[in-house]
Each structure stands twice: as C-alpha cells, then as structure tokens.
Amino acid sequence: MPPYQGPIENKTPGIFYLFALSYRFFGLDPWPPRLAGIAAMLVGCLALAALGRRLFDATAGLVAALVAGLVFASRVVDGPEAAMTESFAVAWALLGLWQVERATAGDGTRGRRMLLAGLLLGLAIAFKQIAVVTGLVLALWAWARTPDGERTPARWAADMAVMGVGVVIATAASLLPLLAAGVGPVDYVQGAWLILLDPGSARWTVAERAVRFWARFEHPLSSLLVAAGAFVLLRRRLPVDAGPARLLLAWIAIDLAGVCASGNFYGHHFKQVVPPAALAAGVLASAGVRALASRPRPGRWLAPALLAAIALALFPQKPLAGLIQGRSTATRYEPQIRAGEWVRDRTGAGDFVFTYVWGGLPQAIAGRRSSSRHFNRNFLTTPGAARALQEDVRRHPPRMIVVDDDPPCWFQRHVRSCCRLVLASTAGYTIYERHPAGGAGDAVPFDPDSPCLEPEDGAAGMMRSREPAVPGRRP
C-alpha cells in the first residue's frame, strides 16, 4: 500500500522506496538495505575525511573518518541495523557539506556546487526530516568559508536561493512516485511532517528527555562526546585556525540540538552528531601528534604515546568483549521473529492479523495483511486513534492478535471478548486467536475507562498493567 495512505509511520519517503525495491527484488531479506546503509556511511566517512583535511589537516581528516566509522558500527547507535534512516540522511548531508566547501574555493563552480549541495540536502531530508537542522550547518558553512573579500549578504542570499532550488527539486522528485500511486501532497504533509507532533513521535517532558539522553552515554558514544567536549574547552589552545574551530563548534551544537529534537533518543538518532564529534576527536589527535613530533627524537615518543592513548580510550570499556559477547541482532529479534513465524504457520494467505506491539517485525515475518493502518502500537497515542483501530478491526476481524506485555486496559477487554489465548510466551509476546464463531460484533466497544482484567491462566506477564487507560501510553 502507498505510504501515508496505507500503514502509519513517521518517515519521509526515501526509506519506503529503498525497502520497497529491496522486497521486490530480494524478498524479506534484511541484508540488501543494510548493505546500502553501510555503503552510504562509508561514503559519508570519505566526505568527512575530505572536510577534515580541508579545514585542518590530513591527520584530523583521517582520524575523523576512522572514528566515525567505528562509532557508526557500534551497537550503542544501533550499528548492526545499518539501514536506519539516519545512515542515509547523514551521508547525503555530509556530501552536501563537501559541495559547499568546494563551492567556496573560488574555482568558478560556486553556483553549480551550491545547487548540488541543495539537491543532496533534499535527498537527506527525503530519508529523515531532522536533516533540515543540518541544513543550518550548510548555510553557516557557505557564509563562514567564503573568503573575507568575497563575503557579502547579497552573495550569501544568492547561495541560499540556489541551494533552496536544489532542495525543492530533490523534494519534488522524491514525491513523484507517491503522486503516481495516488498519494496527495496533503497526505504527505500529514503523514511525514505533522505526525511528528503526535505523542508517538515525541511525548517526553524536559526532565524525561534529560534522563533518556543520559542513558545513552555508553562507550564508544560517551568517549566520542567527551572528546567533543574536550575540543570545546581546549579549542583556543589548539594549534588550529580560529575560524574553522568556531565553525566546527557550531556544527557540533547544531547537530546535537537535532539529536535532542525528538526526545525519544533511540541509539540511531545519535548518528547525526557523530561526524562533527569525530572531527573534533580528529583535531585533538592531530594536535597531539604535532606536539609529540615537536619533541626531540619524536620516533621514540610517538608510537608509545599513541598506543597508550588507544589503550586508555578503548580497553577499560572492554570493547572486544562487547563485540564477542554482546547480543547479536538475531538474538535481539528472535522473540519477534518466532512470534511472526508461529502466526504465519497457522494462518492462511487471506487471513488478517493484528500485532499490538512496538515495531512491526512480527507482522512482516507473518506475511499477512494487517487489520488496521496501525500495524503496531507506536502511534496509538490518542483516544481518536484507538477508536480508528477498533473500527478497522471491526471491518477486518483479525484471525490472530499478537500483543506485547503491557497493553492498556481497553485493549485487554477487547481481546478477551473476541479471542482465546493460544500461545503464552515468556519472551514478552502473547498470541490470541479469534473464537471460531467470533465475528466483529463480539468485541466490547471502545471505552477508555475500562477496568483491567485479571491475567488468564498461562498468560504470564500478559495484561498485568493497571494504569488508567491512556491508549498507547506505557505505564
């Protein structure tokens, strides 16, 4: 089904196209889109190396690319799931930034490169809305990197106009497949932008955001952000030009604000701030190498000092043990995969299935149509959405319902009225099957004040929530 008219998800269209092509040519296989994500991040690292070399020196660029690549691969930023939207948005934004840098070189290609930068930024936005924030970095870059004698408000405004044309062209191109599928501009604005105001996209208070942000401070992300903080504190003492240092400081601040915008703080959100933070680490490394090289007999000091720095930065956190012993992607998703396979093996191709879970993997693995546009519970955050779900379920009664371990009370009563428990899982997923005589009318009507029910025998952990029913809200 077309995005924004079919399943409800808060993504811009680029990622839908990537997965649609992957499913069409390779079936339900995670590797083609992940390989595309890995390729995108590698290209982004190359662009980061080039930027570091132009702003500072070759050492800074090389270290920045290596550090960014290693952090991108880390589980703390969901590295194994390389097809996250941020993987592509960050890569295209870095390529756009490189084009802006090249445009300021005075080689007669300024207009063409500014247009290309806008096209790349538009492509980044087509994969992730928050790339709009990185657009501020491109605008600042165009001003700051233009030579003093050529920098004027009129010239900068012309650059922004040309870049804006590129963004519009790329955005329009990203909408053409949607328009061909019958999705209108209003559907796109509602499904990709206004949905960001839904509590399912961001529903956290300032205090909750601070706690969730702090919880993400794990190695190597914590080490990287500490390095960025050290750059901020020491930038006046470093042997680098003040202009590029200030520009890098602004880049860190802008993209860190972009990371904090949603408040959900999933690990992959932090990919946005990895490039400028990695470049800050590269500048520190370059300064360290210069300082060591200026000592007498640098060959005696350089290698031991670098090895000591690597040991202090890495081995106390046991990264090798984490790589070897950490949960693999297959283990992490095994309960969802098994739930989907169990449903697939016990339903027919024409059956409807509904999965009231976070995310949509059980539905995908089952390979059955969802009873509702809400193929997961992510955006069932208002009474209106809950009513829409119940109407969908009434029109398309699901043969089976998969739930996680804390549905709200109104959904508990709905499931208990129409279905019977067929599989009680200890992994957080419980499966119900509609009674043989059960029709759409067997379900109790929606009531946000429904009291919770006692768990059924064998449904350990299922229906245990006792919170006042706010649809979709975790207790």
Give the tokens for residue 101. Answer: 């840098």
| Model pLDDT, residue 445 | 60
Residue at 321: amino acid letter: A
Residues 262 and 130 sit within 8 Å (Cβ to Cβ): yes
At 201 the pLDDT is 74
pLDDT score at 102: 96
pLDDT of residue 456: 56
Bridge partner list, 431:
402, 423
What is the model's pLDDT at position 451? 67
For the whole model, what pTM was predicted?
0.84
Give me the pLDDT at residue 320, please. Answer: 41
Q: Look up residue 110 and give its two tokens.
A: 């300024």
- What DSSP designation does 318 have? -
**What's the CA gap between 408 and 469, in Å, rounded?**
5
Q: Distance between CA atoms of 422 and 392, rounded to whole angstroms?
A: 23
Q: What is the pLDDT of residue 230?
A: 86
pLDDT at 468: 30
Average pLDDT of adjacent 10-residue blocks, the chain of 475 residues: 87 95 92 96 97 95 93 89 95 98 91 97 97 97 94 96 98 95 92 86 66 71 84 86 94 93 82 95 88 65 59 48 47 83 93 91 92 90 84 90 82 82 76 71 57 56 34 35
For the packed helices 13-26 and 85-103, what is the interaxial angle rounded to 10 degrees? Answer: 120
- How many whole angstroms separate alpha carbon 172 and alpha carbon 30? 28
Does residue 99 contact residue 120 with C-beta atoms inside 8 Å?
A: yes
| DSSP strand pairing (430-434 vs 419-423) | antiparallel
Q: Give the integer Cα–Cα distance in Å for 292 and 304.
A: 11
Structure tokens given for 359: 């995310």
